[in-house]
């Protein structure tokens, strides 16, 4: 998301549903849910989907390491670009592919948790599953998202959700993180308008 004055003004007039502290609490809860579901950190890999899924995965890895000091957060986190696996490339604004980087241990026979900011149509996650097939064979694949806004077009469900956020299809959900957007962190909703970040189009 760009940081133009016009965009900042537009986002500011949206309805804020999560602030900085809310985002942090949601990630803390998700980190503990991941550990509980996995019965610890053994074989765990977190793969963030650019742009905002990757910093969220890094934060989750650090929170997991706080709960289990034997975990090196840098060794369990990676980034998974799904750009070329999307089925809606012709309808979306052009996206520059991002780097895919897996942990040194790879993903074979691992419990892979895909991490993204907003779950909407499910098409981004479908693309992520296709991308994983090219990289290895995980034992289990789970999904953690900061926000689930509904309106699924594919039978995909998140295992770990920071906040379920009912929305209309005409609304936009904006996620702003320090690592990608600078400034104050927040999740906000606004009505449809001319400003639509590629990351906020159907996912």
* pLDDT exceeds 90 at position 79: yes
The pLDDT confidence band at residue 183, using thresholds 50, 70 and 90, is confident
pLDDT on residue 7: 41
Complete DSSP assignment for the chain: ----HHHHHHHHTSEEEE-HHHHHHHHHHHHHHHHHHHTSSTTEEEEEPTTTHHHHHHHHHHHHHHHSTT--GGGSEEE---GGG-S-TTTSPP-PPPPPB--TT-STT-EEEEEEEEESSSHHHHHHHHHHHHH---SEEEEEEEEE----SSS---SEEEEE----TTEEEEEE-HHHH-SS-EEEEEE--S---GGGS--
Which residue is it, tokens 């995909």?
156
Please report, for the chain, the start and end positions of each structural domain, with discontinuous segments joined by +: 5-200
Fold assignment, 5-200: Rossmann fold (3.40.50)
- pLDDT tens sequence across 12-48: 458 999 999 999 999 999 999 999 999 999 999 999 9
Rg (CA), the chain: 16
Does position 2 have pLDDT exceeding 60, yes or no? Answer: no
Share of the chain above pLDDT 70, in %: 84
CB 49 within 8 A of CB 83: no
Does residue 101 carry a pLDDT above 70? yes
pLDDT of residue 93: 61
- Sole residue written with tokens 């750009």: 83
In order of 10, 72, 85, 89, 96, the CA distances from 15 in angstroms are: 11, 37, 33, 30, 30
Across the chain, mean pLDDT equals 88
Across residues 173-181, what is the average pLDDT? Answer: 96
pLDDT surpasses 90 at 61: yes
Q: What is the pLDDT of residues 108-158, one digit of tens each?
A: 999 999 999 999 999 999 999 999 999 999 999 999 999 999 999 999 999
pTM for the model: 0.87
Please give the pLDDT value at position 1. Answer: 35
Torsion of CA 19, 21, 27, 32, to 10 degrees: -150
């Amino acid at each position: 998301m760009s940081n133009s004055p016009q965009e900042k003004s537009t986002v500011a007039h949206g309805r804020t549903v999560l602030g900085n502290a809310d985002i942090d609490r949601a990630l803390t809860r998700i980190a503990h849910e991941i550990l509980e579901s996995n019965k610890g950190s053994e074989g765990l890999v977190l793969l963030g989907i650019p742009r905002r899924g990757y910093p969220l995965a890094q934060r989750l890895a650090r929170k997991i390491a706080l709960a289990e000091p034997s975990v090196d957060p840098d060794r369990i986190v990676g980034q998974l670009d799904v750009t070329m696996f999307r089925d809606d490339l012709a309808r979306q604004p052009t996206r520059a592919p991002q780097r895919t980087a897996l942990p040194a241990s790879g993903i074979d026979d691992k419990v892979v948790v895909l991490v993204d900011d907003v779950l909407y149509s499910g098409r981004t996650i479908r693309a992520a599953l296709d991308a994983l097939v090219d990289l290895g064979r995980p034992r289990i694949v789970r999904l953690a998202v900061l926000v689930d806004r509904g309106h699924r077009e594919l039978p995909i469900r998140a295992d770990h959700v920071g906040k379920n956020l009912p929305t209309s299809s005409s609304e936009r959900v904006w996620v702003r993180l320090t690592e990608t957007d600078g400034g104050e962190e927040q999740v906000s909703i606004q009505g449809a308008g001319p400003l639509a970040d590629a990351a906020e189009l159907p996912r």
